[in-house]
Amino acid sequence: MIPQRRRVVVTGIGLVSPLGIGTEQTWSAALAGRSGIAPVSLFDASSIPCRIAGEVKGFDPRDFLDQKDVKKTARFIQFAIAASEFAIAPARLQMQKENAERVGVYVGSGIGGFEIIEREHSKLTTQGPGRVSPFFITASIVNLAAGKFLLGLVRKDRTSRAQPHVPRAPTPSVKRTA
């Protein structure tokens, strides 16, 4: 009996990098020999010896997520969702009940959500445990990058997501009383 071989089909590659937002933009910059290394701009780096980094610039997570989801996810998850959408757009994959068990996402990340971990730790130590966000874990753990994308793919028609962001009308704020 010949063992059955499993097939894997890579339908797309999505990139969000210091060279650009989107696979084509990143690839074009790489071919042109451009560097994504520049002075650190996301935080004050004046007290550390190295003040250059490969930061992703010009990224607006609202191009890929609703505002409420932006607040609940770390930046690396936002990058992963955007990159996944750039990867899946050329494949025109439609999630159906028949193919849902055969579709997967691979996201490479060493660790994620440092800005969320740092923010919530600061809240814990200065304001107490009651001020820590209930979304702390789901906003920062590394395996949620792929999970959030797949959940969104199953829930929504994603065909219009990788388009330029159109500002939404502001939603009225709701004040909570104790």
Contact criterion met (CB below 8 Å) for 26 and 17 = yes
Query: Tell me: the pLDDT tens digits for 7-41?
Result: 777 777 889 999 999 999 999 999 999 999 999 99
Query: Tell me: the pLDDT tens digits for 88-103?
Result: 888 777 777 787 777 7
Number of alpha carbons in the 13 Å side-chain half-sphere of residue 156: 12
Q: Are strands 52-53 and 38-39 parallel, antiparallel or unpaired?
A: antiparallel
Using CA atoms, how far apart are residues 29 and 20, in angstroms rounded to an integer?
A: 7
* pTM, entire model: 0.73
Query: Tell me: the pLDDT tens digits for 47-90?
Result: 999 999 999 999 999 998 889 888 888 998 899 889 888 888 88
Using CA atoms, how far apart are residues 85 and 22, in angstroms rounded to an integer?
A: 9
pLDDT of residue 169: 33
User: Any residues with CB less than 8 A from the CB of 110 and at least 6 apart, and which?
Assistant: 142
User: Any residues with CB less than 8 A from the CB of 136 and at least 6 apart, and which?
Assistant: 116, 120
Query: Tell me: the pLDDT tens digits for 108-135?
Result: 777 788 889 999 999 999 999 999 999 8
pLDDT at 178 over 70: no
Contact criterion met (CB below 8 Å) for 43 and 115 = no
Token couple for 98: 């028949």
Query: Tell me: the pLDDT tens digits for 138-162?
Result: 888 888 777 777 666 655 444 444 4
pLDDT of residue 60: 96
Using CA atoms, how far apart are residues 88 and 85, in angstroms rounded to an integer?
A: 5
